[in-house]
Structure 1
Amino acid sequence: MVAGEASGDLLAGLLLQGMRKRWPGLQAQGIGGPQMARRGFEAWWPHEKLAVSGYAEVLRHYREIVGIRNQLRERLLADPPQAFIGVDAPDFNLDLAAALKARGMKTVQFVCPSVWAWRMKRVEKLQRSCDHVLCLFPFEPELLAKHGVAATYVGHPLASVIPADPDRQGARASLGLPLQGEVIAVMPGSRASEVAAMAPRFLHAAALLQRQRPRAWFVVPAVPQRRAAIAAAVRASGLKQVVVVEGQSHAALAACDVALVTSGTATLEAALFQRPMVISYHVNWLSYLLMKPRHLQPRVGLPNILLGDFVVPELLQGNAKPRKLALALSDWLDAPDRMRAVQEKFRGLHAQLQRDTATLAADAIEKVLQS
């Protein structure tokens, strides 16, 4: 198995939990993180090695990443497993899976690449690389079937982990936040490049918002490797009444009234917690120039894509300015009726995505192994 960042590690950990129920003697090895390790996974490389975003950032780490992939490929070809499962990280996993499949190995991709958002040419790579794709979203299998790719909708495992009625008061108490008053979650991402780009912007926006709303509190979840960088950005912003927590992103989302979130899986997590949000990102200018022409969707945030509308604001690239971010957060807090309306939409999305993912995924993987 290969998972390439914190969100993939979380998904892979949930998948492993279901697979171990089906196959108690399962051996799982490759590239992964702490959630996978908790389920007995043996990591030959840490998932942090692949947690790089943006074209320019990937180019800087290209030699190391390709070296890891080559070493992993040779290791798997020398001692073939019964199956290779790539978890997200399509740029890394699909080329590796293609080489393994060409040598007769069974290959599964867990998380369909966003072919519906980016150029459909990636479907051709899926055909070459994967015996089966496990899809998180209900519309994906039909889309892939049109292109000859076998796929199964397994639901999104986070919808089974995240409660339908989050305990706001309990989460606030556990994080040392006031039980009453406004709390804003600030989520600049887990990758080093994301934190470098987004944390100063987000925390500057938080400081501006705090001037308008002096009683507001802020909570900033940080993966362990980024805590020092985020703490430094907090100090530079002058933000007060702020709690920086290690991990605990779900507790932060449960505790907050509204969230400021870097585009990615965290936006879906915020939606499943039924929290209004402002979605943002800013990448290296070269990465942006390369990415922009390839994007087919008018929306980039997963909640907006899945609901087919701009239900939450997206402030991207040139619009990812602290004052605009602070204003968008304030607009939510000043409109309780609007907040309740979007929360109802997110409740419906939660119900749609909630399936017995572990069992459905294990069923699909078993069929691949028997084919």
Structure 2
Amino acid sequence: MVAGEASGDLLAGLLLGGLRQRWPGLTGVGIGGPQMVAQGFDAWWPSERLAVRGYVEVLRHYREIVGIRHQLRQRLLQGERPDVFIGVDAPDFNLELEANLKAAGVRTVHFVCPSIWAWRPERVRKIQASADHVLCIFPFEPALLAEHGIAATYVGHPVANVVPLEPDRQAARRQLGLPEDAEVVALLPGSRGSEVDYLAHRFFEAARLMQQARQGLRFVLPAVPAQRERIGRVAREAGVADLVQLVPGQSHAVLAACDATLIASGTATLEAALFKRPMVIAYNMNWLSWQIMRRQRLQPWVGLPNILCQDFVVPELLQEEASPQRLAQAVLDWLDAPERVRALQARFTQLHHELRRDTAALATDAIEALLAR
């Protein structure tokens, strides 16, 4: 297995739990993070080595990433070949590796369909050459892949089973040491170093502006271990080290505890939707990477909640629009609109039901059928 970042590690860890129930003697090796290691996975490389986003950023790490892929391919093919290879998201890394392994006779599964319905539709040809089977987390994806002769199974979104339909806000606040009656804003600037570099300072400046406009606001930021030191340094540089509470990980507790969140575009936005929390989605990246990416978009939305709802149910502030002033005002607008929040929560509850399936069992069934063939 290969998972290339914190969200992929979470998905892979949940899948490994289902695989181990079916095959207690299963051995898992490759690239992974702490959630996978907790399931007995042997991580030859840590997943954060692949956690890079953006064309320019990838180029800076290209030689290292390609070297890791080459070493992994050689190790898998020259040693005892795996019964199946599962690439978890990270399509730029995994699809190339899967194509090489498939050509050598190894069965391949790709978990999380690349968002060919949102951007880079040409990737469908790469999927055809790479994956024997695709495990899809959104219900409309298998039919889309079937049009191109790609076998796929809808398995639901694993996080939809982890997040309760009615999150306990007060229990989460007690866990984090937050006042039960305070207004709390969660700051989630992303789990990659490049995201922290481009977004954290903007988020901290927005927090300062929000605090000036609304005394008593509390801010909490769940920092993944690999980024905690970097985030702490940016907080000190921004002069908000005393204003923003940093907690190690615990992003789900933070989302459960908050009244609203300022959040980087990515998987975490779907998690925030499952927690029924109003959000402001932001993103900023290298200018050249953004120019390339914006030309490949197929939909007007970037955030997963908006894509799945096919509407701008939450604001998106991207690139130059993601100024501290606009970010702060968009979050404050949620705090001042309880009726709007309740309508959003109803829509997110409907979405939660649509995504809730026994993901581990459905995925394991599909993998077992592939192995039987």
Same fold (TM over 0.5): yes
Give the Cα separation in 2 of the matches to 1:76 and 1:245.
38
Structure 2 letter corresponding to 1:343: Q
1:15 maps to what in 2?
15
SS at match of 1:44: strand
8 Å contact from structure 1 (residues 135, 154) kept in 2: yes
8 Å contact from structure 1 (residues 216, 241) kept in 2: no
8 Å contact from structure 2 (residues 48, 226) kept in 1: no
Give the Cα separation in 2 of the matches to 1:148 and 1:354.
26
2:141 maps to what in 1?
140
1:35 maps to what in 2?
35
1:178 maps to what in 2?
179
8 Å contact from structure 1 (residues 162, 272) kept in 2: yes
1:306 maps to what in 2?
308
What is the CA distance between 1:241 and its match in structure 2? 4.1
SS at match of 2:295: helix
List aligned pairs for 1:349-360, cutoff 5 A: 349-360=351-362
Deviation sequence 1:93-128 (CA, Å, 0-9, x none): 000000110111100000000010013211111110
What is the CA distance between 1:231 and its match in structure 2? 1.7
Structure 2 letter corresponding to 1:105: V
What is the CA distance between 1:292 and its match in structure 2? 1.1
8 Å contact from structure 1 (residues 207, 237) kept in 2: no
Structure 2 letter corresponding to 1:190: S
2:24 maps to what in 1?
24
Give the Cα separation in 1 of the matches to 2:338 and 2:120.
38
Give the Cα separation in 1 of the matches to 2:12 and 2:138.
16
Match status 1:203 vs 2:212:
no
1:326 maps to what in 2?
328
Structure 1 residues 162-171 or 227-236, which shifts more? 227-236
Structure 1 residues 116-125 or 141-150, which shifts more? 116-125
Give the Cα separation in 1 of the matches to 2:204 and 2:272.
18
8 Å contact from structure 1 (residues 11, 87) kept in 2: yes
1:76 maps to what in 2?
76
What is the CA distance between 1:13 and its match in structure 2? 0.1
1:53 maps to what in 2?
53
1:279 maps to what in 2?
281
**TM-score, L = length of structure 1:** 0.99
Give the Cα separation in 1 of the matches to 2:162 and 2:171.
17
**RMSD, aligned CA:** 0.8
Deviation sequence 1:182-233 (CA, Å, 0-9, x none): 1000000110000111100001001100001111101101011211221222
1:62 maps to what in 2?
62
Deviation sequence 1:31-65 (CA, Å, 0-9, x none): 00000000000011110110001000000000000
Give the Cα separation in 1 of the matches to 2:230 and 2:210.
21
SS at match of 1:93: helix
Unaligned runs of 5+ in 2: none
Deviation sequence 1:57-98 (CA, Å, 0-9, x none): 000000000000011111111121100000000000000000
Structure 2 letter corresponding to 1:83: V
1:250 maps to what in 2?
252
Give the Cα separation in 1 of the matches to 2:158 and 2:10.
9
2:164 maps to what in 1?
163
Give the Cα separation in 2 of the matches to 1:200 and 1:241.
13
Unaligned runs of 5+ in 1: none
Deviation sequence 1:122-172 (CA, Å, 0-9, x none): 111111000000000000000000111000000000000001110100101
How many residues end up aligned between the 2 structures?
371
Match status 1:216 vs 2:229:
no
SS at match of 1:294: coil
8 Å contact from structure 1 (residues 55, 287) kept in 2: yes
Deviation sequence 1:4-35 (CA, Å, 0-9, x none): 00000000000000000000000000000000
Structure 1 residues 291-300 or 54-63, which shifts more? 291-300
Give the Cα separation in 1 of the matches to 2:368 and 2:200.
43
8 Å contact from structure 2 (residues 33, 46) kept in 1: yes
Structure 2 letter corresponding to 1:368: L
